[in-house]
Amino acid sequence: MSPKFVVVGPPGAGKTTVSELLAKQLNLAFRDVDADIVETAGKPIADIFTGDGEPVFRAMEEEAVAKALEEHDGVLALGGGAVLSAVTRERLKKHTVVFLNVGMAEGVRRTGLSSARPLLSGVNPRATFKALLDARLPLYREVATIEVLTDALDPEQVAEAVIKGASE
């Protein structure tokens, strides 16, 4: 079993929304690794970050991604930082990975610098978002088989671009 699409990208790229649309349009099941982690941990991701620390969360995430890649055959959305794991990046090489790219201004606008996004809360959220994009962009591109810049597109247009990209 293997996902049809694995969707990655930074916060605000539209991973969950676009993944749900793709699944619906292609008549596939949708699964979100962040939701799996919340269910397993029994608490929100922000609480895992603040209570247990980022390393504990990343270990849980790596395990949750591995499990989902083995079990799920639909559309799988990963958390924004899942690509930080070299083990996860290696696992993704066998899959069709969709990188939803978003520019800094649009990403900041979409996330609203939400406190539900633990890595974006802090003294200077814009600088934090820029640093996050700078660090992760090469990793997203390393695993991507399809890349869609989402800034000027609505979720339906992004889903269409993914389907078109997969057929090329």
The annotated binding site for substrate is made up of 34, 58, 80, 136
- The pLDDT tens digits of the residues spanning 81-113 come to 999 999 999 999 999 999 999 887 777 766 665
pTM for the complete prediction? 0.90
- The pLDDT tens digits of the residues spanning 10-24 come to 988 889 999 999 999
Strands in 3-120 per DSSP E: 5-8, 30-32, 75-77, 97-101
**Residue 24: helix, strand or coil by DSSP?**
helix
The annotated binding site for Mg(2+) is made up of 16
The annotated binding site for ATP is made up of 12-17, 117
The annotated binding site is made up of 12-17, 34, 58, 80, 117, 136
